[in-house]
Amino acid sequence: MSLTKSVLFVSPKNDDLYRSIDSGYEIESPPLGLLLLREALRQNLPEVEVTVLDERYTPDLVDKAIRDPKYGAVGISRLYYNSQQALRTARIVREYNPNATIVKGNVDAAAHAENLLRKNLVDYVVRGGGEGAMVEILRGNIPRLDSAIYVPFDLNRISRISFEGFDQQMFPYDSTRKNYNSTSISPFPIACVRGCIKAMQKGPCSFCTTPYSKLTLMKPQKFWEGVSHLFEGYGVNYFFETGDDVLVGNYPKQLLRARPRGLEGKVSFRFYTGLDFVDSESMGILKGLNTKTAFPGLENVNQTVLFLMGKLYSTLNFDEIGKLNFESIHKKFSLFAKAGIDFYIPILLGGQGESKFSLEQNKEFARQALDRFGGPGEGEFLRKMYVGMVIPTAGSRLYNLLVGNEKFRRDYSFYHEKIHGNGDSDILKTVNPDYFLMMRLMPRYLSEDLTFEQIQNTINQIREMSSRKFRQRERNVPTNFGENEKVLNGPIYGGIN
C-alpha cells in the first residue's frame, strides 16, 4: 500500500544563469531517470498514478501541477544547472500543497543533502539510482533522516519504458517518420551501465560527482529488450548509453553476442569510453555493435594535472608526452578513426596543478592533434575538439578542496555579497553555489603561477585553432561555443581578478 495515490515527478528547466549552456546536442532528450522511476512505481505500487513532466517542454503543465493538492508526493530531479529552479519548484509545492512529501534526487541533490534537509526545503534526498528508494518512501518504510538515502534496486527489472506524455520529445527520434534527419539527430539515452569502472579501480576523478559506489551492468538480453522496445515502439534507431565507460571487461562483447539478428544494422550507438581500454580489439567490438560515435575522456595531457585529477592513464607514454610527442595519445584516437567511429577530443583546463607549462603542453597537443585529425582521411572522424574550464561541481573532490580553504571561503563570501547581496554568501551553508564565481576564483587556489586570464586565453587559442582547421568542413563542428566563458568574462564576473 502506498501513502498516496498520486505522485508527480518534475524535471526542472535550466536556471537563467545556465540557460545558454551548450548542451552539445541538437535536442534535449526526455528525462530517462524519472521515466524509470515511474516504471518502478508501476511495478511495485500499481495503485499509484504517476505523472512525469519535463519543464523544458511543458512549462505550463508544470506550473499547474506543482500547485495541485492531488499529488501526495512530488519528486524533483536536481542538477547543478537547474538547482535554483528545483528550489523554486519545491517552494511552490510547500506553499500550495503543504501536505505533499517532497523528494529530491540526482547528483546535485545528493551533494547538498544535509543542507536541503536541515533547511526543511525537502523531506527526503535520494542518492544514486532512485527506483528502490522511491518505492520504499511511498510505502512509508523510510523515516525522515538528516542525510541522503539509498535503497538498492535490481536494474534488470526495468527494460521497457513508457513515454506517455512525451510525444513532443519522442517525435524527432522517430526514424519511421517522413523528414527524419539521420545526420543531425541526437542519440537517445539508454542506461545499461551504472557506475564507472575507472572510479571503481582508481577512485573518482577530482571533478567527478558520480554517486555510485558500485558498478552495475544490465544483463545483455535486457539491454536488447530495451533497445528493441524503443526501436519497434517509437522508431528510435540511434542510442546513447549513459554510463561513463562502456568498456567494462568483456561487457561490450557480451552485448554483441546477445544482439538479436533483427536489430543488426538497424540500430546504432554512441558510447562514453575511457582511454586505457581503447585498443584495436575493443574498437572492433564497438564497430560490430554499429557504434557511430564515441566520447573518450582525455581531459588533459600534463602528467601532474592528470595525477591530481586522479586520471593517470596507464597506457599512455608520459616520457614522450613530456617531450611534446603525443603519439601514444594520437594512436588511441586513430583506433577510433580506423574502426570508422566518430570521436571527440575533450580538454579540461584550470584544474588543480595547472601551470603555464601545462597550458602550453595542452595547446601544443591540440595543435598536433588538429594537424593529424583536422584534415581528410583519419580527420573525417574527429567530430569536435571540446575545450573548457573545469567546473568544481558540489559533491566533487575539487569542490571540497576549495570549500575547505578558509581564504577561498572568505573571497567567495566577499564577492558573492557584492554580486548578489542576498545573504546567501556562506558557501558552507548554501544549497546554491555560484559556479561562475567559483571558477573565477579557482586558479588562485589551485595553481601557483597561473591567472584566470591565462587559462581563458589558452581556451580561446585552442578554439581558434580548431575553428581555422574546420572552417571548410561541413560535417563537423569545430569546437564548443564558449557560452560559459561569455558569462565568466561578462559584466558581472569580469571584474574579479
Binding site for ligand SF4 (CB under 6 A): 196, 198-199, 204-205, 208, 210, 244, 297
List binders of ligand B12 among 392-421 (CB under 6 A).
393
Residue 73's binding partner out of ligand SF4, ligand B12, none, with CB under 5 to 8 Å set by partner kind: none
Nearest to 337 by CA among 278, 272, 253: 278
Q: How far is the CB of 23 from ligand SF4 (least distance, A)?
A: 18
By C-beta, is 172 or 350 nearer to ligand SF4? Answer: 350
By C-beta, is 295 or 326 nearer to ligand SF4? Answer: 295
What is the three-class DSSP state of 2? coil
Alpha carbon distance 470, 478 (integer Å): 5
Copy the grid coordinates of residue 182.
539521420
Residue of 92, 136, 150, 189 that binds ligand B12 (CB under 6 A): 189
Residue of 15, 50, 65, 80 that binds ligand B12 (CB under 6 A): 80
> For residues 199 and 253, is the Cβ–Cβ distance under 8 A?
no
List binders of ligand B12 among 290-309 (CB under 6 A).
none
Q: How far is the CB of 162 from ligand SF4 (least distance, A)?
A: 29
What is the three-class DSSP state of 347? strand
Q: How far is the CB of 209 from ligand SF4 (least distance, A)?
A: 8
By C-beta, is 200 or 492 nearer to ligand SF4? Answer: 200
Residue of 81, 234, 239, 436 that binds ligand B12 (CB under 6 A): 81
> For residues 105 and 75, is the Cβ–Cβ distance under 8 A?
yes
Q: How far is the CB of 145 from ligand B12 (least distance, A)?
A: 14
**Does 107 participate in binding ligand B12 (rule CB under 6 A)?**
yes
Residues in Cβ contact with 357 at an 8 Å cutoff, skipping those fewer than 6 apart: 302
Copy the grid coordinates of residue 227.
533497445
Alpha carbon distance 368, 275 (integer Å): 18
Alpha carbon distance 378, 76 (integer Å): 44
Alpha carbon distance 180, 26 (integer Å): 14
By C-beta, is 72 or 105 nearer to ligand B12? Answer: 105
> For residues 105 and 33, is the Cβ–Cβ distance under 8 A?
yes
By C-beta, is 124 or 207 nearer to ligand SF4? Answer: 207
Residue 196's binding partner out of ligand B12, ligand SF4, none, with CB under 5 to 8 Å set by partner kind: ligand SF4
**Does 14 participate in binding ligand B12 (rule CB under 6 A)?**
yes
Residue of 72, 105, 220, 433 that binds ligand B12 (CB under 6 A): 105
Residue 107's binding partner out of ligand B12, ligand SF4, none, with CB under 5 to 8 Å set by partner kind: ligand B12
What is the three-class DSSP state of 293? strand
Element (H, E) at 288: helix 280-288
**Does 477 participate in binding ligand B12 (rule CB under 6 A)?**
no
DSSP structural state of residue 122:
-
DSSP string, 235-249: -B-EEEE-SS----T
**Does 31 participate in binding ligand B12 (rule CB under 6 A)?**
yes
DSSP structural state of residue 262:
G
CA 335 to chain centre: 25
Residue 199's binding partner out of ligand B12, ligand SF4, none, with CB under 5 to 8 Å set by partner kind: ligand SF4
List binders of ligand B12 among 57-76 (CB under 6 A).
75-76
Residue 189's binding partner out of ligand B12, ligand SF4, none, with CB under 5 to 8 Å set by partner kind: ligand B12
Alpha carbon distance 32, 11 (integer Å): 10
> For residues 30 and 163, is the Cβ–Cβ distance under 8 A?
yes
By C-beta, is 332 or 384 nearer to ligand B12? Answer: 384
By C-beta, is 108 or 299 nearer to ligand B12? Answer: 108
Q: How far is the CB of 2 from ligand B12 (least distance, A)?
A: 15
Residue 393's binding partner out of ligand SF4, ligand B12, none, with CB under 5 to 8 Å set by partner kind: ligand B12
**Does 25 participate in binding ligand B12 (rule CB under 6 A)?**
yes
Residue 32's binding partner out of ligand SF4, ligand B12, none, with CB under 5 to 8 Å set by partner kind: ligand B12
Residue ranges of E strands in 180-290: 188-190, 193-194, 216-217, 238-241, 268-273
Alpha carbon distance 177, 172 (integer Å): 9
> For residues 393 and 351, is the Cβ–Cβ distance under 8 A?
no
Identify the burial level of 31 via C-beta atoms within 10 angstroms of its C-beta, where 0-12 means exposed, 13-18 middle and 19 or more buried.
buried
**Does 148 participate in binding ligand B12 (rule CB under 6 A)?**
no
Alpha carbon distance 234, 222 (integer Å): 18
Cβ atoms within 10 Å, residue 213: 12
Radius of gyration of the chain (CA): 23
By C-beta, is 229 or 338 nearer to ligand B12? Answer: 229
Q: How far is the CB of 10 from ligand B12 (least distance, A)?
A: 9
**Does 218 participate in binding ligand B12 (rule CB under 6 A)?**
no
**Does 96 participate in binding ligand B12 (rule CB under 6 A)?**
no
Q: How far is the CB of 123 from ligand B12 (least distance, A)?
A: 11
DSSP structural state of residue 273:
E
Q: What residues make contact with ligand B12 under the rule CB under 6 A?
A: 14, 21-25, 28-29, 31-34, 36-37, 75-77, 79-81, 103-108, 126, 129-131, 133-134, 189, 191, 209, 242-244, 393
